Amino acid sequence: MSLPLEGLTAVVTGAGRGLGRAEALELARLGASVVVNDFGQPGRDGSGEASAAPAEEVAAAIREAGGKAVAHTGDVADLQQARALVQLAVDTYGKLDVLVNNAGILRDRMIFSMTEDEWDSVIRVHLKGHFNTIRFASAHWRERSKEAGGPVYGRIVNTSSEAFLAGSAGQPNYAAAKGGIVGLTTSTALALAKYGVTANAICPRARTRMTSDVFAGFAEPGAGELDPLAPEHVAPLVGYLASPAARRVNGQVLVVHGGMVAVVERPRVAAQFDSVDGVFTFRELDEAVSPYFASRPEGETFGAAEVLGLRRG
């Protein structure tokens, strides 16, 4: 029996550690040839000397297990290095079929203390990094579609976060970047559908080097048990979205963790207020809108707890 991704080529960014590593290994296990990308800086804030070791180690692990993999150690936030990453997949395996964007850094700070560099660097790696790889992958699929005279095979899986839904007080840069990734994903999904390409975003909850402090208070696994927040719970969804089985899944946002996948519904109107004469006055707005919010605690954001649904252990 053939494997679900047999004959396909995948690029996974940020694949030297954590989520990206688990995703690269899963795609290889399902039969894909994998280009493992990681810039290799040791600090989760993007600090330290870049190293080829993380990407090379994952590529070697795939090959040792009988799969096909090469490493790429470039910075996907650099446009030309992202171009080279896509080209490496094409040159090595003849084509690109799957793009998984996972690379990111954290530089947390409250909004009133954040520096320009802390803002720019996070937006650059997360949002621009996603754009850069999609830019060249989409051009590759469009060209192939022109040559074929019809749709080709293409899958994009982007990494967002529930921080874009419910906010994250000390991560305005990260939350903004992840919200931008959702917008980029839905726009890309519409633009590339006619070429046979789908684009979806996942919001994973996983205990990794990037999130060690975020999940520090959550229940730890017992002896011999798989951590509910292990990246290995996220990787199968990525494998599914990369496969032919997910051909009808496009432009979606999916939350995933610990054996659970939730499809996030597009925002809906919760309430509507209509003026009497077609143009609101201040008093009319106060009388119509204020009562609607009167029952909420002062300063409460919109349904953050309900959106996250997290429970501490």
> Residue 100: what are its φ and ψ, rounded to 5°?
-115, 115
**SS3 at position 244:** helix
Angle between helices 172-192 and 116-123 (to 10 degrees): 30
Furthest-apart CA atoms within the chain: distance in Å = 73
Contact by Cβ (8 Å): 161, 253: no
Catalytic residue among 153, 178, 195, 243: 178
- Catalytic-role residue among 153, 174, 195, 243: 174
Q: Among this protein's residues, is 240 annotated catalytic?
A: no
User: How far, CA to CA in Å, does 218 sit from each of 160, 196, 215, 303?
Assistant: 21, 41, 5, 21
* DSSP conformation class of 124: I
Asked if 195 is an active-site residue, the reply is no
Residues 303 and 242 sit within 8 Å (Cβ to Cβ): no
> How far does the chain reach from its first CA to its final CA, in angstroms?
42
* 161 flagged as catalytic: yes
What does the alpha-carbon distance between residue 181 and residue 3 come to, in Å, rounded to a whole number? 30
Kindly report the backbone phi and psi dihedral angles of residue 35, in degrees, each rounded to the nearest multiple of 5, phi listed first: -100, 115
Contact 229, 215 (CB under 8 A): yes
Residue from 161, 168, 195, 243 carrying the catalytic annotation: 161
Just list the catalytic residues: 161, 174, 178
